[in-house]
Amino acid sequence: MRNKQRATITALVAAVLIMFGFWLLLRNIGQSAGHPLNTLAPQGQQSWDIQNLVIPVFAVAGVVFVLVEVGVLWMAVRFRRNREDVDGVDEPAQTHGNTPLEIGWTIAPAVLLAVLAVLNVQTLLKIDNHQADAMEVTVVGQQWWWEYRYDFDGDSQPEIITATQMVIPARKDVVVKIQSNDVIHSFWIPALNGKKDAVPGRTHQLVFNADNPGIFEGQCTEFCGLSHGVMRMQVKALPEAEFVKWKAAMVAPPREPSTALEKEGQALFVGQCARCHEINGLTPESTEPYTYAAAPSANYGEEVGSSLASKNAPNLTHLMMRQTFAGNLLALYEGDAATAVVAIPEGKPDTNNIKNWLRNPQDVKPMDPENNQGMPNLNLSEPQIDALTAYLTTLKSSLAPPA
């Protein structure tokens, strides 16, 4: 009799604890504020499709889990051997060899899994669906930042190359073609879709369709070396008219430097930075700015055709058209301007962040430039850093309103 009471209490306590665990897990459903990588806060068609699969599957699995765990604990306590029990006399009734029971607990899980499999395959097919005329963006993972190439006319020469912040129109299908330049990365914007690996030599596809304009955070989710943990990215979804504005601004050349300091910075850039960074049309090698090597590309300093530019570093043509840099670690603008959902960012450039980066990039982010991974410390003097920063902050579309 003692066992029976103990078993009931144990089972009740277990049930309460398990429910509490589920509550801890699920209380963030739908909350994106303060949880930028919450997988349970969909903001796009595909992530809703996934959510609509996850919740019922989790509910079914949860019920099974609670029944099994509570049952196991209840039985373990209820049918314990008591100290005064006599072996062979006080044993509980044995159910070994109960055929209906065994057939039952074989068939029930099989049926359950078959139903879940059908739902899974349905969802997998659904999230790959897209409009035939959907916009395409090629995403290239690199150690440790993401590059985006937009080829609107389909001639495999992208018209726009940018980094870190991917810009798309909201409420439209966008087909994302994922590649890698070095090792395996994984592209993951949880608010919009699941994750897909970026594998060298392969192209993997995801479809995005953001419910509303907004900025959605992401993180590389395949261990890719030193700075994997800070290899972040963003998707900025704009209202369609704003996206058209962004596109026009991005294909226009950047503003010309005007002050003496900006011109000095440009000259320094040509001498020190252009061997890695492309600025469309700036150096002779980049008069054909879009002959971008297909992944996997050459290493730094290695000759690419007639060009010495490795093009293995972020394209900086329209640096100030993005709102963050260095793998989304640093803001390019002060205050709210860094997160405003606009086609052409406006506001005060965060020159401190840019200067900190130029002073020593490896202070900001661990990198290994000796092995062609990341940006070296160029030991720039403070006046050089000032000039370069003045020049970098001009790198915004000539269509942008003057600062």
Q: Is 348 exposed, middle or buried (0-12, 13-18, 19+ CB in 10 A)?
A: exposed
Closest CA to 213 of 246, 187, 188, 186: 246
C-beta of 154: minimal distance to ligand HEC in Å? 26
Q: Which of 196, 228, 245, 277 binds ligand HEC (CB under 6 A)?
A: 277
Contact 367, 361 (CB under 8 A): yes
Contact 200, 295 (CB under 8 A): yes
Question: How is residue 184 written in tokens?
Answer: 């395996």
Q: Which stretch binds Cu ion (CB under 5 A): 156-164, 218-226, 246-254, 280-288?
A: 218-226
- 396 touches ligand HEC by CB under 6 A: no
Residues 290-293: contacts with CB under 8 Å, at least 24 apart: 290/157, 290/158, 290/159, 290/161, 291/157, 292/149, 292/157, 292/158, 292/161
User: In this complex, which beta carbon is closest to ligand HEC, that of residue 145 or of residue 208?
Assistant: 145
Convert residues 102-141 into a mask of x (bound to ligand HEC by CB under 6 A) and - (unbound): ----------------------------------------
Q: Which of 41, 50, 210, 224 binds Cu ion (CB under 5 A)?
A: 224
Query: Cis bond leading into 296, ω under 30°?
Result: yes
Convert residues 227-256 into a mask of x (bound to Cu ion by CB under 5 A) and - (unbound): ----x-------------------------
Q: Which of 57, 261, 378, 399 binds ligand HEC (CB under 6 A)?
A: 378
Question: How is residue 30 written in tokens?
Answer: 């739908």
Q: Which of 130, 149, 185, 322 binds Cu ion (CB under 5 A)?
A: 185
Residues in region 119-178 near Cu ion by CB under 5 A: none
User: In this complex, which beta carbon is closest to Cu ion, that of residue 18 or of residue 184?
Assistant: 184
Other residues' Cβ atoms within 10 Å of the Cβ of residue 26: 14
- 196 touches Cu ion by CB under 5 A: no
Out of ligand HEC, Cu ion, none, what residue 160 binds, judged by CB under 5 to 8 A for its kind, is: none
- 375 touches ligand HEC by CB under 6 A: yes
Out of Cu ion, ligand HEC, none, what residue 300 binds, judged by CB under 5 to 8 A for its kind, is: ligand HEC
Q: Give the C-alpha distances (Å, rounded to integers) separating 31 from 40, 49, 218, 237.
A: 8, 17, 16, 19
C-beta of 113: minimal distance to Cu ion in Å? 34
Question: How is residue 176 written in tokens?
Answer: 């994302």
What residue type is assigned to position 368 of the chain?
D
**CA pair distance 357, 374, nearest whole angstrom:** 12
Q: Per-residue DSSP letters for 289-318?
A: TT-PPPSS-PPTT--BTTB-----S---TT
Convert residues 235-274 into a mask of x (bound to ligand HEC by CB under 6 A) and - (unbound): ----------------------------------x--xx-
Residues at the contact surface with Cu ion, assessed by CB under 5 A: 185, 220, 224, 231
Residues at the contact surface with ligand HEC, assessed by CB under 6 A: 144-145, 163-164, 269, 272-273, 275-277, 300, 313-314, 316, 319, 325-327, 357-358, 365, 369, 374-376, 378, 388, 392
